[in-house]
Amino acid sequence: MAQTLRGLDSTVGLAPLCDGPDVQDRIEIYRYHISSTLADAINTTYPMTRRYIGDPPFEHFVQRFVRAYPPETGCLTDYGEAVSAALAAEPEMPVGAADLAAFEWGLERTGLARSATPFPFGAFAAQALNHLEEITFVLAPGVRLFQADWPVVEAYDRLQEGRPVVPAAAQPHAIWLLHRHARGVSVSEASEALVDIVACCTNGQPLASLGDSLADEHVDALFDLVNRGVIESFATDTPPAGPGTEPHHPK
């Protein structure tokens, strides 16, 4: 049935459900509704990508995308992750279109994440700071790093302001940290030390995994992430620092 509604199969399998001389017309109504709903979801998620590419070419792209990429879940907010890869596969698209789409998808997913829980400073203070390197820190939901060989963040800001974006040649650019806060999604440039800390958190590793490369810059980056709500919890196997204190483990 799904293939029939997507126009990939005949209506033979739907005969028991759609009997009558006008079965094809009725099927077309459902096909139009499905394709237009999916297209609306793409346009909602990628407004700046659409603005960058232009309305007519982006509309044609969306029509091709909807036919080629059926939804994998019943939730529309999950639809469209493959847009960046699909744009990258079309050589006529302007430079950076795929990177811009990947950035917008990251913004969307980060924005849909739940808010971070307050960091348990009391429980953390009860731990011996001399064992800081043995603690594993936990990122808030939706935190992600983004990097592209194109000035994506600058282009996104210019598009939001209605200013033109001139496609630039590919070149290495900064790594950006995306995380959710009370007023929306924050995008900030990430230092090398911050990237190392986020990698430790993502991999469930303590700071000790950095080995000899662990430096003061990492400690500064760690507390910066804690204060900004990027890190929301921690876990440790270190014995409590004193009577009545227990290690804090994320739920």
Q: What's the CATH number where 171 sits?
A: 3.90.930
Give the per-residue pLDDT at 213.
84
CA angle 228–146–76, rounded 5-degree value: 95
Which of 89, 107, 110 is CA-nearest to residue 98? 89
Of 137, 240, 228, 146, whose CA–CA distance to 180 is shortest? 228
My answer on whether 234 and 130 are in the same domain is yes
Q: pTM for this structure? A: 0.81
DSSP letter at 114? P
List all residues 6 or more positions away from 153 whose beta carbon is below 8 Å from its beta carbon.
103, 174, 176, 187
How far apart CA 125 and CA 143 sit, in angstroms, is 24
- Whether 101 maps to a domain, the answer reads no
Give me the pLDDT at residue 52, please: 96
Residue at token pair 């594993």: 136
Check residue 78 and report its DSSP letter.
Answer: G
**Predicted local confidence at residue 241, as pLDDT:** 42
Sheet holding 144-147, edge to edge: 144-147, 175-181, 184-189
Q: Cα(209)–Cα(178) distance, rounded to whole angstroms?
A: 24
pLDDT at 174: 85
In a domain, 83, yes or no: yes
Judgement on whether residues 87 and 122 belong to the same structural domain of the protein? no
Residue 107 token pair: 């913004």
Confirm whether 78 is domain-assigned.
Answer: yes
User: How confident is the model at residue 28, as a pLDDT?
Assistant: 62
Kindly state whether residue 100 falls inside one of the protein's structural domains: no
Same domain? 132 vs 192: yes
Structural domain contains residue 42 = yes
17 and 87 both lie in a single domain: yes
**Sites in the chain below the pLDDT cut of 50:** 1, 4-5, 8, 12, 238-251
User: Dihedral sign, CA of 230, 100, 56, 26?
Assistant: negative
Distances (CA, A) of 153 to 23, 39, 57, 99, 128: 49, 25, 22, 10, 40
At residue 242, the pLDDT reads 39
Residue 150 confidence (pLDDT): 87
The residues near 243 (Cβ < 8 Å, ≥ 6 apart) are: none
Q: Given 93, 128, 144, which residue is the final one in a domain?
A: 93
pLDDT at 74: 85
- State whether 119 and 86 are in the same domain: no
Q: Where are the alpha helices (DSSP H) in 79-186?
A: 83-88, 97-112, 121-125, 152-160
41 torsion bin: left (phi>0), alpha (psi -120 to 50), beta (else) = alpha
The Cα 236–Cα 122 span in angstroms is 15
Q: Helix axis angle, 23-45 relative to 97-112, nearest 10°?
A: 90
Query: Are 128 and 55 found together in one domain?
Result: no
Domain range for residue 11? 1-93
Q: What total number of domains does the chain contain?
A: 2
Same domain, 239 and 188: yes
Statement to judge: residues 13 and 53 lie in one domain = yes
Which of 60, 93, 126 is a domain's end point? 93
For residue 186, which phi and psi values (nearest 5 degrees)? Answer: -100, 135
Instruction: Examine residue 104 and state whether it is found in any structural domain, yes or no.
Output: no
Asked whether residue 106 is domain-assigned, the answer is no
